[in-house]
Amino acid sequence: MGINNPETNLSTSIRYGLYVTIPLFLHYVITESGSILSGSQMEMILNAELILKKFAMLFGLIPQSLAGVLVVTGLFFVCYKESKKFGPLYLNPGDVLYTIKQALPFAGMLWIIAFAISLMQSGLPQGDQSTFSLLPMLFAMRSGAGFFEELLCRVMLLGGTFWVLKKYGMKESKSSLIAIVFSSLIFAEIHYFHFFPGLGQYFGIIENPDNPYTIGGFVFRFLSGGFLGWVYLKKGFGVAAWSHALYGYFQVIQFFL
């Protein structure tokens, strides 16, 4: 399996993370396309996806039709630079299952965080008030959240902040702490845009009546963002994304039990 790869820490490789999260990405995209074609009443729109699309379009400087090409080109460039630094990456189909196995206890920890906060304060995000017929799309939304939110908040925001702070001479431990706190605050805010509603409107995000701002919900997402940030730094994008998605699956299942 890929865990025997000669890279220093395989799971933190961007190439490995992208590889093991292909099922999450495809699950979301295929289900989203199907829901559009079938005229489903449930819109599959993720805040993180809208923000990433805005970034990919360079905030309107390039047309949306070329945004995907730019993203793919950028990912190929990052993977190429990584391969030049670390050498070839030996991947196997079993790596996806191995990553899911690694992510399961972290997903359980997220559930414990949610449960602990729910004991102290109401207002946590609840299961979807939806019919059983929408179950496939509810699961796909969790796949998309795991992929897009971790790509935006952990890879881009946390990773980028950490890199900048390290580049300017800050110690690794302090850089990690600041990057985790900063990215966690953004992670919590993009679910509501409660403090910066104008910014949310700029990204094309409108207030979601099914997900109103509450202190409990914000605190939960901040703490879970910090936890996922730690997972990302220790285990990489793949494990963080699957941890996020698996927690979401648990949440959906819990509602229908």
Contact 107, 243 (CB under 8 A): yes
- DSSP string of the chain? -GGG-SSSSGGG-HHHHHHHTHHHHHHHHHHHHHHHHTT-SS----HHHHHHHHHHTTTTTS-HHHHHHHHHHHHHHHHHHHHHHH------THHHHHHHHHHHHHHHHHHHHHHHHHHH-S---------GGGHHHHHHHHHHIIIIIHIIIIIIIIHHHHHHHHHTT--HHHHHHHHHHHHHHHHHHTTT--S-HHHHHHTT----TTS---HHHHHHHHHHHHHHHHHHHHH-HHHHHHHHHHHHHHHHHHHH-
Q: What is the per-residue pLDDT across 128-156, written as a single tens digit (0 to 9) for each?
A: 555 666 788 889 999 999 999 999 999 99
Record the tokens describing residue 7, joined without a space: 């890279």
Task: Report the C-alpha dihedral over residues 199, 204, 210, 214, rounded to 10 degrees.
Answer: -10
Q: In which domain, by residue range, is 153 found? A: 2-256
Kindly report the three-state secondary structure assignment for every residue of 42-54. CCCCCHHHHHHHH
pTM more than 0.85: yes
Cα separation, 69 vs 71, whole angstroms: 5
How many C-alpha atoms does 20 have within 13 Å on its Cβ side? Answer: 34
- Regions of the chain where pLDDT drops below 50: 1-8
Cα separation, 152 vs 158, whole angstroms: 9
- DSSP string of 166-191? HHTT--HHHHHHHHHHHHHHHHHHTT
pLDDT for residue 143: 96
* 179 closest CA partner among 224, 223, 220, 233: 233
pLDDT for residue 1: 37
How many separate domains does the chain show?
Answer: 1
* 152 closest CA partner among 187, 180, 193: 187
Rounded to 10°, the helix 22-37/237-256 angle is 50
